Amino acid sequence: MKLFKTSRLIIKTLDRVDFIYFNELFTDSKILNFIPKKNYTPKHILKRFNSNLNLDINHLKHKEFLCGIFLKHLPEMIGLAMFLLNSKGQREIGYRFRTLYWGNGYGTETTNGIINYIFNQLNESLITADVNENNSASIKILEKFMNFEKKFYNVTDSCSERRYTLSKENWLENR
């Protein structure tokens, strides 16, 4: 089921045929260099994939979920849009793309779409995003839309991160 579309992309729920690309997004070493949680077992990947199949998008407000990112003209999944919850229960966004699709502006386009979806459809009042401080491409994207809040050391994932936030009020004022 489609959540939303942008000028070039469709963000929709996962289907069984998407597993090969989902698995790539959790095992490709180039992608994982920028993601602190690196030890994904095949069992964990399959469990996470299965937990995101057949989502009822009418009941997602207070849940974490992952959706596939697709080019409008291509049937294979190019990335993941992540609707997460941080340790404070606040909505957190994330995304990742297969390396073949890096550098094409899809991250910016997806982030804008996710923000619009969360504020307009899920009616959240605040969005957060945490990013590894070595991920300069994602930092650049987040700085286009969100406000830098703090730099911190993530003990759980053993890395330094930057936190960004965006309130619905701020988003509405600056549209």
Question: In terms of residue numbers, what domain contains 30?
Answer: 2-125
Q: What is the pLDDT of residues 43-53, one digit of tens each?
A: 999 999 999 99
Residue 38 pLDDT > 70, yes or no? no
Domain assignment present for 105: yes
pLDDT at 95: 97
* Residue 135, pLDDT above cutoff 80: yes
For the chain, the domain total comes to 1
In a domain, 106, yes or no: yes
User: Higher model confidence: residue 105 or residue 156?
Assistant: 105
Predicted confidence at residue 35, as pLDDT, reads 82
pLDDT at 62: 66
Q: What percent of the chain has pLDDT over 90?
A: 78
Does 175 map to a domain? no
pLDDT band with cut points at 50, 70 and 90 for residue 63: confident
CATH number at residue 59: 3.40.630.30
Residue 134 lies in a domain: no
- Residue type, position 26, single letter: F
> Does residue 161 sit within a domain?
no
- Asked if the structure places residue 24 within a domain, the reply is yes
Residue 25 maps to a domain: yes
Prediction pTM value: 0.94
Q: Is 135 among the domain residues? A: no
